[in-house]
Chains A and B, each alone.
Chain A
Amino acid sequence: MMNGVLTIALNGFRESRRNRVTSVLVVFALILVFSVTVSVEFTFSTFDRVMADFGLGVIGLVTPALALFLSTGLIPREIERRTIFMVVARPVSRSAFVIGRYLGNLFTVGFLLLVMAILFLAQLAIMYATTNFGTGIHAPHLVALYGLALEMVLLTAVAFTFATLSSQFVATLMATCVYFIGHMAEDLFNLAQRTKVVPFKLLGTGLYYLFPNFDRLDFKDRATYLDATPMGELATATAYTAAYTVIMLLIATAIFERRDFK
């Protein structure tokens, strides 16, 4: 099974590399990250904060967009174009197909994140070394990038789950909603605790526990102010992402196992 998963994953990565839309997005993302340097030219003070905030903000915008775009379209497109026939008819289980496709997307988005991260960190280091602006690379920057990687892992799994049961349009809509609700999870929970209307309280609390809490994985603000994140919190965030991702993939494979490919 592992060989099948890896073969499908590597093929998915190759598909993204040859996909023109992905290439355009990659170029766009790199230009955006590079524009951090330009933004500093218009800054009078706190260069380090502007660089970190702008750079991580751009990466935090591009990565989920790419994760959503790639993950929600893939399975509906395979079924619609019937390319899936010649893969699923092979001695490959459907769960291997789903996990392989998921990993293929992860490789793609992960590769892009890695390239953007290297460019961002290089800018911090070069700027510090050549002009003495900013503070160079610090642990909170790396933690923020790690948080973005966790967010990508989880968001891809959520988008994949929706894609196994609906069209690309519906899956994109649903996954985008989950992404934004997940980023407002803490606010929703606090609001639910303050309200006196019981149904709202229950709804807010329910949504908080049901939806993935992307706020837990967001360390960008701490990178801006160079605030340290305790190791325990990082470990919890990692375990939370792993558990939620496994649950999402189990749901995705369970749905996919029952589907008819007409």
Chain B
Amino acid sequence: MRTLFLLLALLPSIAGATMAADVAGMDTSQEARYRTLIHELRCLVCQNQNIADSDAPLANDLRHQVRRQILAGESNQEIMDYLTQRYGDFVLYNPPFKMITLLLWLGPAVLVLLALVMAYLFTRRTRKPSTATALDEEKLRKLLDENK
């Protein structure tokens, strides 16, 4: 049990150490770009993790690829293009807006709109009885007047 705690306590420092090795030889702006990019790229093996958090060998390869391309002086766009040419838009956590991703981007907005329209229709319908009683009151008054 104690060894487990010790290992857990060591975890952040281990993660920190690998990170330091990854960004060796980069200047501050390159390092910042590296950190942003690896958080925006998806690991295709463990699909709900980005390549920064994943320990899969493929994530490791992709991190090295990003690192190589940054050190070679390539822009963020060039690096993302390189990876989408090979792995498709799925590798991006922020996929581009195009025909095939239309449902993904517009779906939630369409659903919210639909919900608002329905909410409006339903609330309007429940208001009707109040107008009906107003009419009844008028009739009632007329009837009362006639009987005077």
Q: Bound pair: A and B?
A: no
Residues of chain A at the chain B interface (Cβ within 8 Å): none
